[in-house]
Amino acid sequence: MKKQKIKIGLFGFGVVGRGLYELLGRVPEANAEIAIVCVRNVERHRTTTPELQFTADPNEVLDAPGIDLIVELIDDAEAAYTIVTGALRRRLPVVTGNKKMLAAHLPELIELQKEMDTALLYDASACGSIPVIRNLEEYYDNDLQISVKGILNGSSNFILSKIFNDHMSHADALKLARELGFLESDPTLDLDGWDSLYKLVILTLHAFGVYINPERIFTYGITHMTDADIRFALEKGRRYKLIGHAEKTPDGRLILAVIPQLISRNKFIYSCEDEFNGVVIKGLFYGKQFLVGRGAGGHPTSSAVLSDISAIRYDYFYRYKRMHSAELPEFSNDISFRVYVRYNTDDDLDLLRFEEIYERYYSDDNRYVVGKVNLRRLHAIREVMAERKIFIAAYPDD
Ligand code: HSE
């Protein structure tokens, strides 16, 4: 793209869309401007930001004369898919932050980019301001990748930090996270692990070259964590972090999960607090590297959007190099690992089918077990566990 000033057609004017508008005003070097914005409530936005042109008609943005690229920052994943595919079919490059849409549609979107020879960039979709996708694509593409794991959701990390460090109640921490613009409009996406799951699917594709449908991956969050669970973590000198985990086993299988984990002090991510995300990338030869940065919030996320806008100016596009590897790992849920489970009835315990039990506590108001369970079993009973308000956390030895 050779043009001097980039004209952006923007979809959505929420926390990140507005953040982008503010950033563009403060970074003249970006040499880009928002030409037209598609929002649901045109009148409201015209009142608060009269200098911008708003419309409720998506086609008015997609077909606006002189538009160089589309930035898609709306909530609704299916509407976002229609917008993104509509733009690519018009050969308009797209920058998006919509992790749910990407996690559901990446294979088709990769094909469409190829067919239309038009770029789709989305570094803002995973880990906010951390350039993790671009690094997986460009830097970590030559080593034997072993694992990518870490804190992929800013708001749940913020809530856990406020509970553990400031002794805030779950409800107050949630309220504060909402006020600061960290939460999805449906906060269960953050707290139940779905937002981390979508990001994990995206990162896995760039790290290992395979697309795994989100429905195949065990996903559990922090909604059912209670004071008793917090006490257990403190007694063991650990903290819960909600971890997205992708790891290749020595026999070439790929294990994925989103699950709270009891993290000990010797881990990089133990000190990753508030809305920060932290990703540990492990390769055979470089060992471990830790990327950390703000994972949620208007300005941090819009700075990743701005970086993608600049990349499009220089005709950058993802090559998905890992997808062309000679041997791709096979997805598997067949692995057993140590967990802490706080349960309510003996039926709950039967449900989990522990392979081994290492520790057991039983009183009138608190029951827990530390033992070994299989991931495939957990995936099969996920909904029942949530209905029964069982809390589970991975509990590694170190
Ligand atoms: N709700 C998301 C989070 C926003 O808390 O991480 C950034 O993706």
pLDDT in tens, 362-396: 999 999 999 999 999 999 999 999 999 999 999 99
Degrees to nearest 5, angle at CA 190 with 187 and 194: 115
Judge if pTM exceeds 0.95.
Answer: yes
Tens of pLDDT along 138-149? 988 777 899 999
Looking at residue 129, its pLDDT comes to 93
> What mean pLDDT value characterizes the chain?
96
User: 184 C-alpha to center of ligand 1: Å?
Assistant: 6
- Tokens 């809530």 correspond to 159
Residues with CB under 6 A from ligand 1: 128, 153-155, 182-184, 190, 195, 295-296, 301
CA distance 97 to 83: 13
CA distance 377 to 13: 42
Looking at residue 2, its pLDDT comes to 58
CA distance 10 to 17: 8
CA 166, 172, 174, 177 dihedral sign is: negative
User: 250 C-alpha to center of ligand 1: Å?
Assistant: 32
pLDDT of residue 164 exceeding 70: yes
User: 126 C-alpha to center of ligand 1: Å?
Assistant: 8
CA distance 110 to 330: 20
- What are the structural domains of the chain? 6-121 (3.40.50.720), 134-295+328-394 (3.30.360.10)
Q: Which atom number of ligand 1 is nearest to the Cα of residue 296?
A: 7
User: In the chain, what is the straight-line distance between the N-terminal and C-terminal CA atoms, in Å?
Assistant: 50
Catalytic residue among 199, 241, 248, 282: 199
10-14, 164-168, 200-204: which has the minimum mean pLDDT? 164-168
Tens of pLDDT along 206-222? 999 999 999 999 999 99
What count of residues does the chain have?
A: 398
- Helix or strand holding residue 241 (H, E): strand 239-248
In the annotation, is 199 catalytic?
A: yes
CA 65, 69, 74, 78 dihedral sign is: positive
Tens of pLDDT along 300-322? 999 999 999 999 999 999 999 99
Strand partners, 359: 370
Average pLDDT over residues 104-126: 98
Report whether 373 contacts 358 (CB < 8 A).
Answer: no
91: left (phi over 0), alpha (psi -120 to 50) or beta: left
Average pLDDT over residues 329-334: 96
Q: What percent of the chain has pLDDT over 90?
A: 94
Tens of pLDDT along 36-81? 999 999 999 999 999 999 999 999 999 999 999 999 999 999 999 9
